[in-house]
Amino acid sequence: MQRVRVIREEEQLGILEIDEALRVALEANLDLVEVAPTADPPVCRIMDYGRFKYEQSKRERESRRSSKHVELREVRMKVKIGQHDVDFKARTASKLLDEGDKVKVSVMFRAREITHPEIGEQLLQRFYERVSEHANIERRPTMEGRFMSMTLEPARKRPAEADVEAAPEAAAKTPAKAPAEAPPVAEAPAAEEPPAAEGAAPD
């Protein structure tokens, strides 16, 4: 009959016949789970297998939630796009960047428009100015066939912004200084009355 090494929580129960190991598990209202089948003898653990699977699934969900997958999204524009549409696409890009994704911004040239790449550069520059609070330029504008594209990444916090945010906290921790006492004001000497003129009648 097969023999297995049995563990219950942190306790080593030793090497038991498989029937004996199953009996011990049943008496504890738990399961006998093989955890190291290639060992000699195989290792089994007495545990609540349903609870173990639940906690394992919960850890996997939390791990997926904490490690967000960064995607590269694309926003396309035509050379003759209107300002209203530029504003709309800039708001869309800002939202994507705030969610942690990168954004590829592309300008599509048609026919002879491609002979004026400076128009595409100016359009991309205007677009970046609209989203600069949310983005850094990862790849500057370059031609890709009939498209001129740049890649934006979510903005990192600038040092100046970090200093501004830290200032209120630092101010709260700094004890307020008592106002300096004003130096005593010397009293001006009383003005002497001018001597009465000769011949003047007394009051």
Answer whether residue 187 shows pLDDT above 50.
no
pTM of full prediction above 0.85: no
25, 48, 66 — which closes off a domain?
A: 66
CATH label of the domain that carries residue 76? 3.30.110.10
Q: Count CA within 13 A, CB hemisphere, residue 74.
A: 8
Residues 100 and 138 in one domain: yes
Residues 26 and 49 in one domain: yes
Alpha helix (H) residue ranges in the chain: 18-27, 49-66, 83-98, 117-131, 159-173
Q: Is residue 174 part of a domain?
A: no
Query: Dihedral of the CA atoms 41, 43, 46, 47 (nearest 10)?
Result: -160
Contact by Cβ (8 Å): 120, 79: yes
66, 101, 120 — which closes off a domain?
A: 66
Residues 85 and 126 in one domain: yes
> What pLDDT, in 10s, does the model give residues 39-80?
889 999 999 989 889 998 888 877 766 666 778 899 999 999
Q: Is residue 58 part of a domain?
A: yes
pLDDT for the residue 37: 87
Task: Please state the separation of Cα 113 from the chain's center in Å.
Answer: 40
* Structural domain count, the chain: 2
CATH label of the domain that carries residue 34? 3.10.20.80
Answer whether residue 178 shows pLDDT above 70.
no
> What pLDDT, in 10s, does the model give residues 101-152?
999 999 999 988 888 899 999 999 999 999 999 999 999 999 988 999 999 9
Residue count of the chain, please give it.
203
% of the chain residues with pLDDT over 90: 38
**pLDDT: which is higher, 170 or 50:** 50
Q: Kindly list the distances between the CA atom of residue 136 and the CA atoms of 46, 52, 67, 175, 193, in Å, as whole numbers in the listed order.
A: 54, 44, 22, 38, 80
- What mean pLDDT comes out for the span 172-199? 46
> What pLDDT, in 10s, does the model give residues 12-46?
888 988 899 899 999 889 999 988 888 889 999 99
Domain of residue 123, residue span: 72-154
